[in-house]
Amino acid sequence: MESLHQPRQLTADEQTRQAQLERLKVFLATAPSRWSSQSHQQQHQLQHHQASSYLASTSNGLPAVPTSHPALNRFLLPSGEYVSCVLWSGLYHITGTDIVRALVFRFEAFGRPVVNMKKFEEGVFSDLRNLKPGTDACLEEPKSPFLDLLFKYQCIRTQKKQKVFYWFSVPHDRLFLDALERDLKREKMGQESTTVPRGEPGLSFTYDPKRT
């Protein structure tokens, strides 16, 4: 993959998304070690204010759910959804649902918002099959106490049997690059992609198979 065009200067909205993305990257890298730090609390308050403004502008918002729990360290996305680092049985975890949420926002910040969520999720969950239970994830039985907690805080959408991934086993950057490459290949072949370039830096990127 390479950028063939000189990207234009980022707009104010694009700069804001880039700043939010950098905070998310820091969270994904450091959440277990910043469980109760003052800086995290201040960041959470700022994010809460941003998300409250977003929800106030929508007609129906999101279902009212608890937002804090001693076992959860949470990052509030501009959409009003959370990405959660979950401490359970002495290990830090993240769900597939939250991995997708982080990627969706990352693509939005990249200037390629997701337009086909179902197909996008299918690709990501296919990649996540490479993370094996016991090594990279725990395999939870239906309606286990762990899944019950995750469901209550909307970290998962269903309590069916599923993998919950160990925090440091998830290659977030690789997942993003693989999803981006899939879409760039689709565009190269004239197929429908799951994301569409609408802003920078996404508009400046094209696919070069010789560089992958």
Lowest mean pLDDT among 38-42, 149-153, 163-167: 38-42
**Is 40's pLDDT higher than 60?**
no
The full 3-state SS of the chain, as one line of letters, equals: CEECCCCCCCCHHHHHHHHHHHHHHHHHHHHHHCCCCHHHHHHHHHHHHHHHHHHHCCCCCCCCCCCCCCCEEEEECCCCCEEEEEEECCEEEECHHHHHHHHHHHHHHHCCCECCHHHHHHHHHHHHCCCCECCCEEEECCCCHHHHHHHHCCCCCCCCCEEEEEHHHCCHHHHHHHHHHHHHHHHHCCCCCCECCCCCCHHHEECCHHHC
> What percent of the chain stands above pLDDT 70?
78
Beta-ladder partners of 139? 163
**Is 53's pLDDT higher than 90?**
no
The pLDDT-based confidence of 14 (bands split at 50, 70, 90) is confident
Which residues, 6 or more positions from 150, have their beta carbon under 8 angstroms from its beta carbon? 86, 95, 156, 164
Give me the half-sphere count of Cα atoms (radius 13 Å) on the Cβ side of residue 123. Answer: 22
What is the pLDDT of the chain when averaged over all its residues? 84
**Is 48's pLDDT higher than 80?**
no
Per-residue pLDDT at 157? 96
**Is 4's pLDDT higher than 50?**
no
**Is 159's pLDDT higher than 90?**
yes
